[in-house]
Structure 1
Amino acid sequence: MTARRAYDEDFYSWTQEQARLLRETAAARLNVPLDFEHLAEEIEDMGKNDRRAVNSGISRVIEHLLKLEFSPASDPRGGWRKSVREHRASVLDALADSPSLHGKIDLPTAYRRGRDYAVDGLGQDRVDERVLPAECPYTLDQILDYGWWPANRHGLD
């Protein structure tokens, strides 16, 4: 695959490959006035930022899915649904730009963070954090499915 095609089809993978190639070029000790190592780090970091954004978006989806499922409150539900839709779209857009990021999703860490965020918000509704599962009750497919929503434990829509 050409570098241009890789850039267009999988940005994350392209950043990692370009960083590797810059480091290989630096090791060859070419006499050119380029700061290869820092260039490689910067390009590599662009891909890492995308990876972090995907995992962060998944954490936010999980946070609001948990709130939708476990909260007895009826008022903020529309905002939680909107947040889920926005973060799902953002994650799906990033995965479309960089399909290799799919393999970089850290669901256990994303769940732990999303659960922690949900605990903070659900405390206002007097929801005991012990009712939230210790491990992610949702599959990645459910988390990213525009049409999937968990049933509320209190019978709310």
Structure 2
Amino acid sequence: MSGRHAYDEDYYAWTQEQARLLREAARERINTAVDWEHIAEEIEDMGKSDRRLVGSHLARVVEHLLKLEFSPAAAPRGGWRKTVLEQRASAIDALDDSPSLKGKLAIGAIYRRGRRFASEGLGQDQVEERLLPADCPYSLDQLLDEDWWPVSRHGHD
């Protein structure tokens, strides 16, 4: 991908490529006062920040999907569904801007964070953390699918 096209099509990939090119230029010892290494790090970090943001959105999706699946409570299910929809939309928007991020997501770490968040809330419903799956029961496609919902273990919609 060329510069402007890459920037417009996949921001994350662009940041990583630009960081690499800056480091390459620094090795060439171009005689300027530019702090090439730190500029490359900052650009690279912009891409990493987007990856963390998507991970945060997906951890919230996991949290609320687990609540929807495991909570015996009839309420606040509507609020949980709304949160899932909002967080999915934000993650999808970020991935549309940076499609290569999809392959860089640490689903295991995202799930562990979301599971911990869910466990705190589910404790109020007498659902013990040990009842939640140790490994992510949802695929990335399910986490991002705006029409997919887990089946409630207590018969709730």
Measure the CA separation in 2 of the matches of 1:76 and 1:40: 46
1:150 to partner: Cα distance: 0.8
1:106 to partner: Cα distance: 1.0
1:131 to partner: Cα distance: 1.2
Spell out the pairing of 1:75-94 with structure 2 (5 A cutoff).
Answer: 75-94=75-94
**How far does the alpha carbon of each residue in 1:2-50 deviate from its partner, in whole angstroms, 9 at most, with x for none?**
1000000000000000001111111111111211111111100000000
Spell out the pairing of 1:7-156 with structure 2 (5 A cutoff).
Answer: 7-156=7-156
1:89 to partner: Cα distance: 0.5
1:87 to partner: Cα distance: 0.8
**5+ long unaligned stretches in structure 1:** none
Percent identity of paired positions between Structure 1 and Structure 2: 68
Aligned residue pairs total 157
Measure the CA separation in 2 of the matches of 1:87 and 1:153: 23
Amino acid at match of 2:20: R
Amino acid at match of 1:71: S
Amino acid at match of 2:49: N
**How far does the alpha carbon of each residue in 1:68-90 deviate from its partner, in whole angstroms, 9 at most, with x for none?**
00001122111111110011011
- SS state at 2:148 partner: coil
RMSD: 0.8
TM-score for both structures, normalised by structure 2:
0.97
Q: Which moved more, 1:49-58 or 1:6-15?
A: 49-58
Measure the CA separation in 1 of the matches of 2:126 and 2:20: 51
Measure the CA separation in 2 of the matches of 1:136 and 1:26: 42
- SS state at 2:133 partner: coil
1:145 to partner: Cα distance: 0.6
1:156 to partner: Cα distance: 1.1
Measure the CA separation in 2 of the matches of 1:122 and 1:25: 53
Runs of 4+ in structure 1 deviating by more than 4 angstroms, as ranges, are none
Measure the CA separation in 1 of the matches of 2:141 and 2:21: 34
